[in-house]
Every structure is written in C-alpha cells, then in structure tokens.
Amino acid sequence: MHERMQWYVDQKLLSCCATLVMRGTDVVDYRTFGYMDLETMVPLTPDAIYRMYSNTKIVTSVAAMMLYEEGRLGLDQPLREVLPAFADVKVLKRKAAGIDDVEELASPVLMRHILSHSAGFSYGFVEPESAIDQAYMAHGLDPLGNREDTLESMCDKLAKMPLVYQPGTSWRYSLATDVTARVVELLSGQRFDEFLKDRIFTPLSMVDTDFHVPADKVGRFITMYAPTDLLDPMKPGLVKADDAHEGQYNSPRAMLSGGGGLVSTVSDYLSFLRMIVSGGSWNGVRLLEPETLDVMRTNQLAGGIGVSFPMWDMPGTVFGLGFALKQQLSEGEPLASLGEYHWGGMAGTHSWMAPETGITGFCLTQRMPGFWHPFSHEFKRMVYQFTMGD
C-alpha cells in the first residue's frame, strides 16, 4: 500500500498523500508521501493543514445531533419552525419545463431530511447543466466560491429556490448541511464557529481546526492542485488550484460553511474519528451517546432510494444522518466493507469506518477534485487485504 501511494505521487497524479489506519482507536499505520507544494518540493509534514471540504459535513452533523440529545432539535421537526423563510418553499414539477414550473409542498421539510440530503435542495455544481443548478449559480449559491454570504443570507437565498423533488422522496447532494449549520446557530444561540470550538474542537484538543489558516500557521498549509485533464483521473499532470499563502483560506470568511469550510490536520481529525468509533467519547469527554450514533448510522432514505451522483457510481450505498452507509456489496468489494459508514471531501480527504471489523481508514490529499479518486479506492482495498486477509 505504501508503495502504491508513493506511485501516485511519482506519477504526478497527487502532489501529496497521507494514510492512516486504525484498529479500534489504536493507530496501526500512518505514513506521509509527497510534498507540501510542487514548487519547493518540501516533504509533506505530519502536522500539515488540509482543506477538508465535505469532511466538514460529518462535524456539522455531530453538532446538530448534540442539540438533538439536548432536546433542542427534533428529527421530525419541520425546518420552517426554525427557519420561517422556508415556510412557503415550492417544488419543481417532475418534468418541469423551467425553474418556475412548480407545485405545492406535499409534506414539510423535516430536520432528518436536511441531515440525510433528502430535503430536495441542490448544490449548484454537481449537475451544472440542470436548470436548478444553473439557477443556484445565477443567484449566488456557489458553495465553492461564495465569500460574501453568511449562513443567514445563504439560507434566505436558498428559500427562494424551488426544491428539486418532494421532501423525502429522493436523494441529492446539496447545501442541506449548510442549512444544518444555520439551524445549529439558531438553536444554540452561538455563531457556528463558536459552537464548534466550544463544544467539539476544544474538548477534543483539535487545536488546528478552523474555517481559515492564520498567518502563524501558513507554513504548514498545503498547496492544492488540479489535474490537467478533469475527465481522466489517471492522466499525469497537476496545476496549482489554490495557493497556501494567498488563497481562499488565508483570511476569515463570512460564510462559515457547515458543508465544506473547515481546514484540519491528521492529528485533529483523528481525535474526531476516535470519538466516533469509540461511541461518542474521547479525550475524557463525551460528545454523543452511543445510541445517537446508532441513529446517525441508520438509513434515513425511502425504500429503493440510494446515493447517486452523475459523475460517480456509488452502488449499494444509502444515507443516514451525516454518513453514507454501505448496505450492499458490489463485485470485488471485500465482505469486511459491508456496513461501512463514511464520507469525504472534494479535494481528497476520505474517512471510512467498518464497525463489524473495527477498522478505520483515513486517506488525504489536496487534489481538486479528489473525492472518489482511484487512489482512495486502492488504499481501502489494500488496507482490507492486509488487516482482514481478504
């Protein structure tokens, strides 16, 4: 596995890579490969800071479920009770001719819908040719480039967009987790970043996890690269996509994106993963009860509905509250992966946990896009081969 990850760097498919494997909460293997940047070729350091993108979603989901445990958030609570702007939201008709071809809600958007991406929201970039994603971008709902909106103003804009489908009837990757972050703000009475710091990061000693990289840490921030050919993930060649010193994360942003805004380190996110796999408690503090994590790892989608992307095939996968769940195996997948719960970030920071075997894998790079890239699949396959003998 180490040789193969180094091969990805040598072939100029990745600028860097870090891999970590746990059995239970014990780290059994951790390696770094490649460079902080391709210009200076400084080797990747163990304390390097990564753009976590959608790994942020798991953190946000945990924050929401902490409020659920406290009785402040109900899974069957209508979203409009917390965010009245969504009281009059409409739904695109099944074969809508345009963005204004809508119908009334058949049932309200519930909190469990926004935590499972089944509310009917969209994302703006996953299916860019669709009328709904084009409307999102036209109205400034760009999750990758939005530097002006706050969570509040983003939700106000989103509430003016129609839903893609009736709540609970399908699955679509979306801005729902950013809506969740705004819900956390309103129900807790704290700014989202303050809630995360007070309730998650400080208790877990996640000292480098934040929504930007301060000047005194910028020397540990990795440069991000993009492939020369977006349509061929295995074609060598990388170009700079975000600078580590003068990029998107070098100053505080108004948008505290619960869907993709965090930066973190292997050490910090390891503490978070250990909390999850040990039943909600780590570092002497309990964030969640084991029963709450069981709910998060329970499929929330209607029968026959699964996780689906236009560009990635994720067969046999359903969704809980913040986690994708491996419900059925595909050809070539190891038996040990059945029941996995996982998610990852667009730039290639993927974590997965296998409760039946006690194995956790975490592989990271800074390639945009890097989610669901062959390097992470090979990492997982080789880990299972080594740890499970299959």
Does residue 258 sit in the same domain as residue 384?
yes
Q: Is residue 198 part of a domain?
A: no
Two tokens, residue 27 = 């780290």
Q: Do 146 and 256 belong together in one domain?
A: no
- Mean pLDDT score, 150-161: 97
DSSP state for residue 330 in the 8-state scheme: P
Closest Cα partner for 9 from 363, 390, 387?
Answer: 363
Tell me the residue type at 285: V
User: Is position 92 within any domain?
Assistant: yes
Q: Are residues 363 and 246 in the same domain?
A: yes
Local structure of 357: helix, strand or coil: coil
Round to whole Å and give the CA distance between 209 and 214: 11
The C-alpha atoms of residue 332 and residue 326 are separated, in whole angstroms, by 14
Q: Is 390's pLDDT higher than 60?
A: no
Token pair belonging to 310? 């236009």
Tell which residue, 75, 35, 137, 67, has the closest CA to residue 295.
75
Distance in Å from the first CA to the final CA of the chain: 15
pLDDT-based confidence at 18, cuts 50/70/90? very high
Domain identity same for 173 and 214: no
Question: What's CA 97's distance to the chain center, in Å?
Answer: 32
Last residue of a domain, one of 163, 193, 223: 193
| Residue 201 belongs to a domain | no
Domain, as residue range, for 219: 2-56+207-388
Helix (H) or strand (E) holding 121: none
Residues 151 and 219 occupy one common structural domain: no
Q: Give how many domains the chain has, as a whole number.
A: 2
> What digits encode the pLDDT tens for the residues 161-195?
999 999 999 999 999 999 999 999 999 999 999 99
Q: In degrees rounded to 5, what are phi and psi of residue 300? A: -110, 0
At 389 the pLDDT is 62
pLDDT over 80 at 229, yes or no? yes
Q: Residue 228 sits in a domain of what CATH number? A: 3.40.710.10
202 part of a folded domain = no
Q: State whether 231 and 377 are in the same domain.
A: yes
- Same domain for 377 and 355: yes
Domain assignment present for 199: no
Q: Check pLDDT > 80 for residue 144.
A: no
Cis omega (within 30 of 0) for bond into 46: no
Whether 106 and 168 share a structural domain: yes
pLDDT for 114-126, tens place per residue?
A: 999 999 999 988 8
Give the chain's mean pLDDT.
Answer: 95
Distance CA 87, CA 77 (A): 13
Q: Are residues 68 and 52 in the same domain?
A: no
